[in-house]
């Protein structure tokens, strides 16, 4: 393995603060992409495909020795949040904020690409630096795969990291197999018969039915699914009714379902609908049920994870990895790339003594920038591992 690269700490911080101050929402990362393209070209990387899935960039760096083709990915989008931090690099755009750390992901990958370009001859194989739009919901990774991100050159394996406020700076979270959960949604509409709140016998009350269903769903999770298979079913919205004494005609419920096991996940719509069907028949209720598939579980390959483990030992030292880290019930569209190719998704701690402990997606979210150097060490270490 070649000796490690010089750490471009000023560049990492400058990039991260630039991205932080200029956030863009999903599929609107045009200025972000233009900035990245300019910096890649200035760093001597000119085999670029731009406009992939609207704003995505694929930058190819062919090494001086033969070896596998490795894709390293960073996501580019920010969130519809108004930043409440008072820092020199705060968001200059009202209502838009990098509150998930994607600014740091881009800074790490961009600085890594430029550092690796200067050491091209030592690289065994080909590197593809993937800057991906729209992670926060619209599945930009899936769109990039559909537009050929894993071909030409044919990608053998994929890696990505996420900065994570639940871990201290200096720690890396690694897990074989399923790490992050799937995220699916459903809409359930119950239709009864409205009437006077004082004469329920002349109505069919959908609110009572909805209240029962909220708890029945939890017994589905606890009684039909094995305790070893984590599943979360949460009802996030219930809408119905107008006033105190009117039984409404209908109720609309919105829910999210998360799972780690593919078979458990795929059986959830049938299980939920069966319960709704039986219960609604008993309650004289009609219903409509719509299930919306979202991100699949993010599943890591044990072989590529061994590369992450070896690099982590060098970057943060032996014993500094949470391995296996606890499962995370967020979801992540890197899952789509990991369905197509073996690879690893791991987390890098950002919690420092002063900054970086607040949850991701908070309007006060920030990172301890010492985490950038660790992310850089991990990405370049993986790239040079061969
Ligand atoms: Ni994120």
46: domain CATH number is 3.40.630.10
**How remote is the CA of residue 248 from the centroid of ligand 1, in Å?**
40
State how far the Cα of 242 lies from the Cα of 167, in Å rounded to an integer: 46
Q: Are residues 73 and 95 in the same domain?
A: yes
pTM of the model: 0.92
* Domain, as residue range, for 338: 9-178+298-385
Instruction: Tell me which of 248, 263, 295 is where a domain ends.
Output: 295
**How remote is the CA of residue 291 from the centroid of ligand 1, in Å?**
24
**How remote is the CA of residue 136 from the centroid of ligand 1, in Å?**
7
Q: Are residues 37 and 151 in the same domain?
A: yes
C-beta separation of 96 from 352 below 8 A: no
State how far the Cα of 196 lies from the Cα of 209, in Å rounded to an integer: 17
**How remote is the CA of residue 116 from the centroid of ligand 1, in Å?**
25
For position 244, which CATH number holds? 3.30.70.360
**How remote is the CA of residue 325 from the centroid of ligand 1, in Å?**
17
**How remote is the CA of residue 5 from the centroid of ligand 1, in Å?**
27
Instruction: Tell me which of 247, 265, 295 is where a domain ends.
Output: 295
**How remote is the CA of residue 363 from the centroid of ligand 1, in Å?**
14
Q: Are residues 148 and 27 in the same domain?
A: yes
State how far the Cα of 329 lies from the Cα of 324, in Å rounded to an integer: 15
Q: Are residues 24 and 107 in the same domain?
A: yes
**How remote is the CA of residue 162 from the centroid of ligand 1, in Å?**
7
The two tokens of residue 286 are 């009609």
Flag whether 201 is in a domain. Answer: yes
Could you give the number of structural domains in the chain? 2
**How remote is the CA of residue 242 from the centroid of ligand 1, in Å?**
38
Q: Are residues 44 and 14 in the same domain?
A: yes
Q: Which of 183, 48, 51 is nearest to 128 (CA)?
A: 48
Instruction: Tell me which of 260, 295, 330 is where a domain ends.
Output: 295
Q: Are residues 72 and 119 in the same domain?
A: yes
Q: Are residues 18 and 146 in the same domain?
A: yes
**How remote is the CA of residue 141 from the centroid of ligand 1, in Å?**
12
Q: What pLDDT is attached to residue 4?
A: 63
**How remote is the CA of residue 93 from the centroid of ligand 1, in Å?**
19
Q: What pLDDT is attached to residue 200?
A: 96
**How remote is the CA of residue 2 from the centroid of ligand 1, in Å?**
31
Q: What pLDDT is attached to residue 117?
A: 97
Flag whether 16 is in a domain. Answer: yes
Q: Are residues 274 and 310 in the same domain?
A: no
Q: Are residues 201 and 161 in the same domain?
A: no
Report pLDDT digits (tens) over 206-247: 999 999 999 999 999 999 999 999 999 999 999 999 999 999
Flag whether 2 is in a domain. Answer: no
| Segment-wise mean pLDDT, segments of 10 residues, the chain, 386 residues | 74 98 98 98 97 98 96 98 96 97 98 96 96 97 98 98 97 98 98 97 97 95 94 96 98 97 96 97 97 97 98 95 95 97 98 91 96 98 92
State how far the Cα of 215 lies from the Cα of 253, in Å rounded to an integer: 13
Q: Are residues 306 and 342 in the same domain?
A: yes
**Based on the number of CB atoms within 10 Å of its own CB, is 91 exposed (0-12), middle (13-18) or buried (19 or more)?**
buried
Flag whether 171 is in a domain. Answer: yes
Q: What pLDDT is attached to residue 6?
A: 83
Looking at the DSSP bridge assignments, the partners of residue 183 are: 295
Q: Are residues 193 and 285 in the same domain?
A: yes
Flag whether 1 is in a domain. Answer: no
Report pLDDT digits (tens) over 291-306: 999 999 999 999 999 9
Flag whether 309 is in a domain. Answer: yes
Flag whether 117 is in a domain. Answer: yes
Catalytic residues: 77, 135
Q: Which residue has the tokens 């990387």?
A: 45
Flag whether 4 is in a domain. Answer: no
Q: Are residues 155 and 191 in the same domain?
A: no
In the chain, the DSSP E strands lie at 47-52, 56-62, 65-75, 124-132, 157-168, 172-173, 177-180, 183-191, 195-196, 231-239, 246-247, 250-259, 286-295, 298-300, 321-322, 343-351
């Amino acid at each position: 393995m070649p000796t490690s690269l010089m750490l471009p700490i000023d560049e990492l911080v400058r990039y991260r603060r630039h991205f932080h101050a200029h956030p863009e929402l999903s599929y609107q990362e045009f200025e972000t992409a233009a900035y990245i393209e300019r910096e890649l070209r200035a760093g001597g990387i000119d085999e670029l495909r731009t406009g992939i899935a609207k704003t995505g960039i694929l930058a190819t760096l062919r090494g001086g020795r033969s070896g596998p083709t490795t894709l390293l990915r960073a996501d580019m989008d920010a969130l519809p949040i108004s930043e409440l931090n008072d820092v020199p690099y705060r968001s200059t755009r009202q209502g838009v904020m990098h509150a998930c750390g994607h600014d740091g992901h881009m800074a790490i990958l961009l600085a890594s690409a430029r550092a690796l370009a200067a050491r091209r001859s030592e690289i065994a194989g080909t590197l593809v630096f993937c800057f991906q739009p729209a992670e926060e919901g619209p599945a930009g990774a899936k769109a990039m795969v559909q537009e050929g991100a894993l071909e030409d050159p044919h990608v053998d394996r994929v890696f990505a990291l996420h900065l994570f406020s639940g871990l201290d700076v200096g720690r890396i979270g690694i897990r074989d197999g399923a790490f992050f959960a799937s995220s699916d949604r459903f809409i359930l509409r119950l239709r009864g018969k409205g009437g006077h709140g004082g004469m329920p016998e002349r109505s069919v009350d959908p609110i009572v039915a909805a209240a029962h269903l909220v708890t029945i769903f939890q017994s589905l999770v606890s009684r039909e699914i094995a305790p070893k298979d984590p599943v979360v079913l949460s009802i996030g919205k219930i809408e119905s009714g107008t006033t105190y004494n009117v039984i409404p005609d209908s109720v609309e419920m919105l829910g999210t379902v998360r799972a780690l096991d593919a078979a458990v996940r795929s059986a959830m719509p049938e299980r939920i609908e069966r319960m709704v069907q039986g219960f609604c028949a008993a309650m004289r209720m009609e219903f409509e049920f719509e299930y919306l598939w979202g991100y699949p579980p993010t599943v890591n390959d044990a072989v590529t994870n061994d590369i992450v483990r070896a690099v982590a030992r060098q970057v943060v030292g032996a014993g500094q990895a949470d391995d296996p880290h606890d499962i995370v019930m967020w979801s992540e569209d890197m899952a789509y790339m990991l369905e197509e190719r073996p690879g690893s998704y791991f987390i890098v701690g950002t919690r420092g003594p002063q900054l970086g402990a607040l949850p991701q997606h908070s309007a006060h979210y920030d990172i301890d920038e010492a985490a950038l150097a660790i992310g850089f060490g991990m990405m370049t270490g993986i790239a040079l591992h061969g």
